């Protein structure tokens, strides 16, 4: 182990396919920057070397040895969790991230997604390069995760027993709420928030809202639109119905799109550039980084015409489309958008 703390640690319950391969992992209590005593105990019992990330499948002997080692180094809570997991029939694993390298296994990928949704790491703070290639496309059913190679047999088995095997989705990402429900949030349609989303306290996701992995809200926030991968929405901001934010995956570039604090993106509007604090995008207006914008002063007089990306750092602006000329304009705002505080107290 390096002199600095390990990045992440998780005791998990893993699901395997008919070939014995891990296809998904549930980590009930993931840790970021775990105590050195915990990682030393794991490394010693499992015989691991320094400088790498590991996924270890725990047999009964290793489980017993690790429980004893954890209790000896004052990690009783982790020992208790391991004993509880080991009492069930599922495969118990340990995932230890010594460095923030691209995920090389399903176990590593799921641990990083858990760290995000548990609010232990912010979007864009973890290396998720190559994540799609690591994850397995899975049928998410009322009987749990099923690998597509096993699905026909499981469907037949269910029918023969007069059971219902409902397939909610076929995707590489599960819904976040199947793994963690953060405190202080409301989610009207849970299938529209993927594992790996970061939802800050006081966030409301309405029925048409969507939050991708490695994206989210600082909270509080009202989300009735789409938050794409890589996008972070600042506190007290409102994304109107049908609006969208252009993520790095959809845009093809590497510039991170963000929404500042106290912003409003109107219904069916959208952005493709970082939006500063206190800004409003008129309903129906999609402003990309290259959109030519007429910059007006407080009296409506034209100052200059610039690309929208050049305004990304300027606060308290209203972006609108001139109803006569069709030109995109922006001008200073005297007041900023405010959320209804009663709607975001989720006690």
pLDDT higher than 80, residue 343: no
Structure tokens at 169: 């989705």
For residue 32, list its beta bridge partners.
8
- Is 24 one of the catalytic residues? no
pLDDT higher than 50, residue 306: yes
At residue 3, the pLDDT reads 46
pLDDT higher than 90, residue 334: no
pLDDT digits (tens, 9 = 90+) for 61-100: 999 999 999 999 999 999 999 999 999 999 999 999 999 9
Angle formed at CA 193 by CA 190 and CA 195, multiple of 5 degrees: 110
pLDDT higher than 70, residue 322: yes
CA distance 66 to 69: 5
At residue 162, the pLDDT reads 97
Q: How confident is the model at residue 5 (pLDDT cuts 50, 70, 90)?
A: confident
Domains (ranges, CATH) in the chain?
8-134 (3.30.70.2010), 141-171 (no CATH), 176-344 (2.160.10.10)
pLDDT digits (tens, 9 = 90+) for 195-214: 999 999 999 999 999 999 99
CA distance 11 to 146: 21
- The pLDDT > 70 percentage for the chain reads 93
pLDDT digits (tens, 9 = 90+) for 266-294: 999 999 999 999 999 999 999 999 999 99
Residue 326's contacts (CB-CB under 8 Å, 6 or more residues apart) are none
pLDDT digits (tens, 9 = 90+) for 30-69: 999 999 999 999 999 999 988 899 999 999 999 999 999 9
At residue 46, the pLDDT reads 95
For residue 187, list its beta bridge partners.
205
Cα–Cα distances in Å, from 101 out to 6, 53, 126, 127, 267? 12, 8, 9, 6, 39
Q: How confident is the model at residue 339 (pLDDT cuts 50, 70, 90)?
A: low
pLDDT digits (tens, 9 = 90+) for 211-253: 999 999 999 999 999 999 999 999 999 999 999 999 875 544 5
Residue 59's contacts (CB-CB under 8 Å, 6 or more residues apart) are none
pLDDT digits (tens, 9 = 90+) for 164-197: 999 999 999 999 999 999 999 999 999 999 999 9
Q: Out of 224, 255, 282, 310, pick the active-site residue.
A: 224
At residue 1, the pLDDT reads 43
Report, as an integer, the average pLDDT of 142-160.
97
CA distance 118 to 124: 15
């Amino acid at each position: 182990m390096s002199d600095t703390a390990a990045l992440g640690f998780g005791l998990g319950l893993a699901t395997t396919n008919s070939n014995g391969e891990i296809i998904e992992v549930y980590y009930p209590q993931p840790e970021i920057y775990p105590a050195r005593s915990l990682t030393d105990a794991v490394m010693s019992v499992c015989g691991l070397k320094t400088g790498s990330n590991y996924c270890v499948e725990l047999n009964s002997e290793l489980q017993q040895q690790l429980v004893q080692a954890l209790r000896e180094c004052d990690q009783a809570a982790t020992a208790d969790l391991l004993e509880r997991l080991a009492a069930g029939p599922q495969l118990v694993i340990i995932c230890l991230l010594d460095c923030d390298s691209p995920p090389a296994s399903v176990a590593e990928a799921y641990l990083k997604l858990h760290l995000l949704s548990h609010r232990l790491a912010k979007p864009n703070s973890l290396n998720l390069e190559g994540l799609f290639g690591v994850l397995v496309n899975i049928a998410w059913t009322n009987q749990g995760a099923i690998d597509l190679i096993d699905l026909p047999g499981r469907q037949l088995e269910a029918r023969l027993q007069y059971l219902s095997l409902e397939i909610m989705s076929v995707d590489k990402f599960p819904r976040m709420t199947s793994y963690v429900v953060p405190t202080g949030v409301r989610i009207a349609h849970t299938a529209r928030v993927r594992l790996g989303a970061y939802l800050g306290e006081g966030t409301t996701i309405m029925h048409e809202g969507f939050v991708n992995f490695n994206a989210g809200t600082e909270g509080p926030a009202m989300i009735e639109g789409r938050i794409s991968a890589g996008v972070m929405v600042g506190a007290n901001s409102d994304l109107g119905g049908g609006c969208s934010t252009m993520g790095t995956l959809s845009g093809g570039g590497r510039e991170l799109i963000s929404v500042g604090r106290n912003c409003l993106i109107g219904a069916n509007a959208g952005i493709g550039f970082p939006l500063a604090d206190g800004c409003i995008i008129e309903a129906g207006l999609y402003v990309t980084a290259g959109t030519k914008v007429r910059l007006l002063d407080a009296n409506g007089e034209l100052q200059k015409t610039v690309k929208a990306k050049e305004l990304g750092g300027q606060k308290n602006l209203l972006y609108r489309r001139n109803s006569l000329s069709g030109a995109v304009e922006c001008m200073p705002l005297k007041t900023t958008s405010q959320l209804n505080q009663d709607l975001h107290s989720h006690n």
